[in-house]
Amino acid sequence: MKALLLYPQFPQSFWSYDRFMELAGLKATIPPLGIITVAALLPSHWDIRFRDRNVATETDEDWQWCDMVILSAMLVQKTDFQALIRKGVRLGKLVAVGGPYPTSVPDDALNAGAQFLVLDEGEMTIPPFVEAVERGETQGIFRSLEKPDVTQTPQPRFDLLQRDAYLMMAMQFSRGCPFNCEFCDIISLYGRKPRTKDPEQALAELQTLYDLGWRGSLFIVDDNFIGNKRNVKRFLRALIPWMQEHDYPFTFITEASVNLAEDDELLELMTEAGFYAVFLGIETPDQDSLQITGKVQNTRAPLVDACRRINDAGLLIYAGFILGFDGERSGAGDRIQTFVEQTNIPQPMLGLLQALPNTALWTRLKQEKRLLAESGHPTGDQNSLMNFVPTRPISELAKDYVEGFWQLYEPQRYLRRCLQQCLQIRSGKTRRQTMQFPLNKGLPLMMQLIWHQGIRRPEIRGQFWRQLWTILRQKPQMLNLYLGLCAAGEHFWEYRALARERIQQQIGYDPLEVPATEAATPESVLVH
């Protein structure tokens, strides 16, 4: 069997860092772990070609060569995913699909023409899929309610990657999350009992990346890295001597729940092991909204204090925020802006709430007949209107979102937060340069940054040089991370205009120019 594994393109989004990637000479932020793990699960006698279409598209010869096309996708990749299915069918190829998107919405893949749906977690469903293919079957749906033991998961095929095209490499330590947030699809996909790899298994993956020549940042893609604190501490205690023996070849970033701030030992282990940043799902500073959506782990201590404790431990904070929770009070966008400025979170991700398929939120809204059939399934994009009828007027929410994004990414405010966040992070004794960057990429990026922010933009030119001098004097070990944050501003300053334009296209007016009281009704906007 000749299998062509394709990873669909992402649209321009908050996380695509398009302008930054262009300036840095890179193609994508992180590689797709899912599909290169699929490659490791396929039989060794199958011939495999892999193409990440965010790095380089496949050729006509690739299509002619293959017997089967295998796709993996998330909701946000919907457009390219469906186009690839249709192309495969048109060319007479077998098409097999998997990943979070078809697992959550299998009918979309079937309607596009996919013959094989290999859903849920691949360790359970790929073996029967392979058996069916080798028996000569030409269609089938493979599902499993059973969750695999990830200690038996093979190493991803890192060798298939064009590694120098990515900002970071990636690995996974655990799946699942113990919490029960109403809007989150992770627990429906992977369960509430976090399953972890063995420390030796995780270190073997790091050794493979090391042997392949990777040096630099590495994203541990767990949706909640600290979901199983006992096991993650075991891993970190093994990782620390490995990092020392290998002269700290990597720096790490991951996602975690806010209760990370409650565990001083865990924070210390993370920073000693080489972690430099963590993404937190803060969602909102409004305690009543957190209670309604089931995010109780964010209500146990003041969120501003939690962020400061994490900074004090030595970690930079990225964070996600959401507008549109049921019962949300007016002014929620202003309160998020105030929180971000208080904590100096440099890159807040702001989005409008979406009801993702098979979540508790989806189920409740469906029962309440508040889901909007006309909206179709959400794409996971941060600037799509809700796919349900909210309790606040959509005109208010649209204004809060666009105004919040516009203000948070005003260039002077953004650069100020970048500096302040770096200054307030404690520097540990073992800390090397954060966010390692290859010299051949870093120097051209630095020159571009000086041109765009230190010369070309008069509104931030003076601020750029003053802040650069400050970071060199006060926190030189944070220089790489600080410059990376500054350079990412080029993406966000373009993206805030795109986000504003996309919302305007959906509601028919510019929320920053039309007062909310004069805007259209929620029903007319959402339905049309």
What's the pLDDT tens digit per position in 205-228?
999 999 999 999 999 999 999 999
CA 172/CA 160 separation, integer angstroms: 17
- pLDDT above 80: residue 438: no
Residue 275's pLDDT band (cuts 50, 70, 90): very high
96 vs 186: which has the higher pLDDT: 96
pLDDT at 479: 93
Q: Contact at 8 Å (CB) between 208 and 172? A: no
Please report, for residues 411, 452, 453, 464, 465, the alpha-carbon distance to residue 458 in angstroms, rounded to integers and kept in the order given: 11, 10, 8, 10, 12
* Edge-first strand listing for the sheet containing 348-352: 169-171, 216-220, 250-256, 275-283, 316-323, 348-352
pLDDT at 99: 97
Q: Contact at 8 Å (CB) between 109 and 44? A: no
pLDDT at 90: 98
Measured from the Cβ of residue 4, the count of other Cβ atoms closer than 10 Å reads 22
User: What three-state secondary structure class fits 238?
Assistant: helix
CA 71/CA 118 separation, integer angstroms: 10
Structure-token pair, residue 373: 């059939």
Please report, for residues 204, 227, 436, 492, the alpha-carbon distance to residue 240 in angstroms, rounded to integers and kept in the order given: 14, 20, 18, 34
- pLDDT above 60: residue 375: no
Which of 159, 149, 133 lies closest to 43, judged by CA? 133
Residue-wise DSSP of 184-202: -SHHHHH-SS-EE--HHHH
Mean pLDDT of 109-116: 98
Q: Domains in the chain, please, with CATH?
A: 2-142 (3.40.50), 168-424 (3.20.20.70)
pLDDT at 373: 76
- pLDDT above 90: residue 460: yes
Exposed, middle or buried: residue 291 (CB in 10 Å: 0-12, 13-18, 19+)?
A: middle
Mean pLDDT, the chain, rounded, equals 94
User: What three-state secondary structure class fits 174?
Assistant: strand
Q: Percentage of the chain surpassing pLDDT 90?
A: 90
pLDDT at 486: 98
Q: Contact at 8 Å (CB) between 252 and 208? A: no
Residue 320: its H or E element: strand 316-323
Least confidently predicted of 333-347, 364-378, 443-457: 364-378
Residue 444's pLDDT band (cuts 50, 70, 90): confident
Which of 378, 405, 402, 309 lies closest to 526, judged by CA? 378
Residue 525's pLDDT band (cuts 50, 70, 90): low
Q: Percentage of the chain surpassing pLDDT 70?
A: 93
CA 315/CA 478 separation, integer angstroms: 11
Sequence-ordered strand ranges (E) for 421-499: none
- pLDDT above 70: residue 381: no
Structure-token pair, residue 242: 């490995």
- pLDDT above 60: residue 523: no
pLDDT at 432: 58
pLDDT in tens, 331-365: 999 999 999 999 999 999 999 999 999 999 999 99
CA 187/CA 177 separation, integer angstroms: 6
- pLDDT above 60: residue 518: no
Mean pLDDT of 156-168: 97
Our CA angle for 421, 248, 226, nearest 5°, is 60
* Edge-first strand listing for the sheet containing 47-52: 47-52, 2-7, 68-72, 94-98, 116-118, 140-142
Residue 20's pLDDT band (cuts 50, 70, 90): very high
Q: Contact at 8 Å (CB) between 403 and 511? A: yes
Which of 44, 38, 31 lies closest to 1, judged by CA? 44
Mean pLDDT of 419-434: 77
Region of 140 (left: φ > 0; alpha: ψ -120 to 50; beta: rest) is left
Q: At what angle do helices 264-273 and 303-313 cross, to 10 degrees?
A: 40
pLDDT at 516: 59
The dihedral sign for the CA sequence 477, 480, 484, 486: positive
pLDDT at 374: 60
Which of 386, 385, 283 lies closest to 332, judged by CA? 283
318 vs 444: which has the higher pLDDT: 318
pLDDT at 528: 37
